[in-house]
A = this chain, B = another copy of it.
Amino acid sequence: MKKTGVRGLAQATGLSVATISRVLNNADNVNKDTRERVLEAIRAAGYKPNPAARALATKRTRTIGAVVPTLAHSIFARFLNAVERELAQFGYALVIATTEGEPEAEERRVGELMDMGAEALILSGAEHSQALLARLDAAGVPAVCTSVCETANGLPAVGYDNCDIGRAAVTHLASVGHRRIAVLHGPKSDNDRTRLRIAGVENGARRAGVSVILQETALDVEGGVEGARALLDGTQDFSAVLCLSDVIALGVLFECNRRGLTIPKDISLMGCDDLDWAANSTPPLTTVRLPTARMGALVATSLAGLLDEDKPIRTARLEASIVERASVASPAE
């Protein structure tokens, strides 16, 4: 009866499993003819190495896990898209886990990913529970924090400076003359990036001598609509609204349209992310472009570099840039 796997090939070729294994991993020390013979047998048998057996023997799974809040926000989807594309280049598979808005789930998800053999992990943001960190280094599993450019827990980070982003955004608004700026942002709780951006906004406002009105809302279009309503129906005065996420800005845009407010004549609008519709909206949205795709690619190459040639991961700070379009103008009066 035909044996399976390398054994079968060994039998078929009259060689030993060692030799088969060698050509499988293209080791150099194998006779050209022998190799050809093996290759032929492999082809003939339609042989595929068993990944589990290989993983067991090598202790490498070539799998990397990523845990993100959700895939439903295109910012994460775009990021993971880039990660996946790049990881594939290096022969790594990406397995995804979402926390669906319960940050407490992060540790659990990380555990599941580790339990299924992930060799490294991609995390969102800089803050992670002590338990999670403990687990990581108990198992010696490397991890990278993303969307941030520094952490206080020893993990490397690959991302952008959220504080700077907030600061740059208000500064830009102030520079064209806005003195009172409404700032719409997503939930602060469990989102260090939002908190960082807000801190940057406050810092920038102070420096520029302008005042900000902070308003928290849900991180989606509806949240933008509601935030705009609260702001517009409120008693506070402002000439521009800065949204710390483009999705929120889209809601504001819609709500302004609804009220017959024209942007940027009646009110200036600025976002953050530079989602794909931003260049095509009416008016085109001035926003902060986040290097999402570059970040994804860099995370992937960093991880591959670490795993394949154990180059330590260097924390990287990618530049975000303001892209001026038509939704911001100098205030009227």
Contacts and interface: CB of A to CB of B under 8 A. Distances in A.
Interface of A: 46, 48-53, 55-56, 59, 61-63, 70-72, 74, 77-78, 80-81, 84-85, 88, 93-98, 100, 109, 112-117, 138-139, 220-222, 224-225, 247, 250-251, 254-255, 257-258, 276-277, 279-282
- Sorted nearest first, the 3 A-B pairs with minimum C-beta distance are A52-B55, A77-B77, A71-B81
A251 B282 CA distance: 9
A139 B47 CA distance: 10
A138 B46 contact: yes
Nearest to A49: B115
Q: Which residue, A59, A139, A258, has most C-beta atoms of chain B within 10 A? A: A258
Nearest to A52: B55
16 contacts: A46-B138, A48-B139, A52-B52, A52-B53, A52-B56, A55-B55, A71-B71, A71-B78, A71-B81, A84-B98, A93-B112, A94-B96, A95-B96, A221-B280, A222-B276, A251-B280
A254 B225 contact: no
Contact of A281 (B80, B138, B254): B254
B74 A72 contact: yes
Stoichiometry, as copies per complex, reads: 2
A80 B221 CA distance: 21
Contact of A72 (B62, B77, B94, B221): B77
B222 A63 contact: no
Given A49-B115, A56-B56, A88-B109, 11 more contacts: A51-B61, A51-B116, A52-B59, A81-B98, A84-B96, A84-B98, A93-B95, A93-B113, A95-B96, A96-B96, A220-B276
A117 B77 contact: no
Contacts of A222: 276, 279-280
Contacts of A221: 276-277, 280-281
A87 B279 CA distance: 36
B61 A70 contact: no
